[in-house]
Amino acid sequence: LPAPPAMSPFRAPPSAALIDPLTAVAVYAALIAFGGVMGAGAAGSMISAGSSVVSAAVLGYAYHVGNLQIAFVVACALCVVFAVRFVKTRAVVPAGALLALSALMALIFNGVL
Protein backbone atom coordinates (compact mmCIF):
# COMPACT_ATOMS: atom_id res chain seq x y z
CA LEU A 1 0.00 0.00 0.00
CA PRO A 2 1.24 3.52 -0.73
CA ALA A 3 2.00 5.77 2.19
CA PRO A 4 -0.70 8.33 3.04
CA PRO A 5 0.08 11.85 1.84
CA ALA A 6 1.83 14.08 4.34
CA MET A 7 -0.22 16.87 5.87
CA SER A 8 0.62 20.30 4.57
CA PRO A 9 1.56 22.82 7.25
CA PHE A 10 -1.16 24.99 5.71
CA ARG A 11 -3.90 22.41 6.17
CA ALA A 12 -5.07 21.74 9.70
CA PRO A 13 -6.63 18.36 10.30
CA PRO A 14 -10.43 18.78 10.39
CA SER A 15 -10.64 17.74 14.03
CA ALA A 16 -8.02 20.31 15.11
CA ALA A 17 -9.52 23.36 13.37
CA LEU A 18 -11.77 25.63 15.42
CA ILE A 19 -13.44 26.83 12.24
CA ASP A 20 -13.20 25.79 8.62
CA PRO A 21 -10.15 27.66 7.25
CA LEU A 22 -11.70 28.15 3.81
CA THR A 23 -14.80 29.68 5.38
CA ALA A 24 -12.46 31.99 7.31
CA VAL A 25 -10.84 33.04 4.00
CA ALA A 26 -14.23 34.02 2.57
CA VAL A 27 -15.26 35.93 5.70
CA TYR A 28 -11.88 37.68 5.90
CA ALA A 29 -12.09 38.70 2.23
CA ALA A 30 -15.55 40.16 2.76
CA LEU A 31 -14.45 42.07 5.87
CA ILE A 32 -11.38 43.49 4.15
CA ALA A 33 -13.38 44.60 1.09
CA PHE A 34 -16.22 46.08 3.14
CA GLY A 35 -13.83 47.87 5.52
CA GLY A 36 -11.82 49.36 2.68
CA VAL A 37 -14.86 50.68 0.88
CA MET A 38 -16.33 52.08 4.12
CA GLY A 39 -12.98 53.61 5.06
CA ALA A 40 -12.69 55.22 1.65
CA GLY A 41 -16.14 56.71 2.05
CA ALA A 42 -15.32 58.09 5.49
CA ALA A 43 -11.75 59.26 4.90
CA GLY A 44 -11.74 59.63 1.12
CA SER A 45 -8.68 57.43 0.61
CA MET A 46 -8.97 55.80 -2.79
CA ILE A 47 -5.59 54.07 -2.32
CA SER A 48 -6.94 52.33 0.78
CA ALA A 49 -10.09 51.30 -1.07
CA GLY A 50 -8.12 50.02 -4.03
CA SER A 51 -5.68 48.04 -1.93
CA SER A 52 -8.48 46.49 0.09
CA VAL A 53 -10.34 45.45 -3.05
CA VAL A 54 -7.15 43.93 -4.49
CA SER A 55 -6.45 42.10 -1.22
CA ALA A 56 -10.03 40.83 -1.13
CA ALA A 57 -9.77 39.69 -4.75
CA VAL A 58 -6.60 37.72 -4.03
CA LEU A 59 -8.28 36.20 -0.98
CA GLY A 60 -11.29 35.36 -3.15
CA TYR A 61 -8.97 33.59 -5.58
CA ALA A 62 -7.38 31.69 -2.68
CA TYR A 63 -10.85 30.63 -1.58
CA HIS A 64 -11.81 29.61 -5.12
CA VAL A 65 -8.78 27.37 -5.61
CA GLY A 66 -8.72 26.22 -1.98
CA ASN A 67 -5.17 27.44 -1.36
CA LEU A 68 -4.53 28.51 2.22
CA GLN A 69 -0.91 29.41 1.44
CA ILE A 70 -2.04 32.37 -0.66
CA ALA A 71 -4.43 33.49 2.08
CA PHE A 72 -1.66 33.14 4.66
CA VAL A 73 0.70 35.36 2.63
CA VAL A 74 -2.02 38.01 2.18
CA ALA A 75 -2.85 37.94 5.91
CA CYS A 76 0.84 38.33 6.81
CA ALA A 77 1.26 41.19 4.35
CA LEU A 78 -1.78 42.93 5.81
CA CYS A 79 -0.35 42.38 9.31
CA VAL A 80 2.71 44.37 8.25
CA VAL A 81 0.59 47.13 6.67
CA PHE A 82 -1.69 47.47 9.70
CA ALA A 83 1.25 47.27 12.15
CA VAL A 84 2.93 50.20 10.38
CA ARG A 85 -0.34 52.16 10.42
CA PHE A 86 -0.89 51.35 14.10
CA VAL A 87 2.62 52.49 15.05
CA LYS A 88 2.16 55.74 13.11
CA THR A 89 -1.32 56.60 14.38
CA ARG A 90 -1.70 54.66 17.66
CA ALA A 91 -5.35 54.31 16.61
CA VAL A 92 -6.90 51.12 17.88
CA VAL A 93 -9.67 51.47 15.31
CA PRO A 94 -9.17 50.65 12.50
CA ALA A 95 -5.42 49.85 12.42
CA GLY A 96 -5.15 47.98 15.74
CA ALA A 97 -8.31 45.99 15.21
CA LEU A 98 -7.35 45.02 11.66
CA LEU A 99 -3.86 44.08 12.84
CA ALA A 100 -5.39 41.74 15.42
CA LEU A 101 -7.84 40.32 12.85
CA SER A 102 -5.09 39.76 10.29
CA ALA A 103 -2.86 38.04 12.86
CA LEU A 104 -5.75 35.81 13.94
CA MET A 105 -6.48 34.91 10.32
CA ALA A 106 -2.81 34.13 9.67
CA LEU A 107 -2.88 31.70 12.60
CA ILE A 108 -6.07 30.08 11.27
CA PHE A 109 -4.69 29.80 7.73
CA ASN A 110 -1.46 28.27 9.03
CA GLY A 111 -3.39 25.63 10.95
CA VAL A 112 -2.45 26.85 14.42
CA LEU A 113 -6.09 27.57 15.34
**CA distance linking residue 96 with residue 76, whole number of Å:** 14
3-state SS record for 18-45: CCCHHHHHHHHHHHHHHHHHHHHHHHCC
Full-model pTM: 0.82
- % of the chain surpassing 90 pLDDT: 64
Q: For residue 71, give the nearest of 28, 16, 7 by alpha carbon.
A: 28
Are the C-beta atoms of residues 111 and 11 closer than 8 Å to each other? yes
Digit-coded pLDDT (tens) for 18-66: 789 999 999 999 999 999 888 888 877 788 889 999 999 999 999 999 9
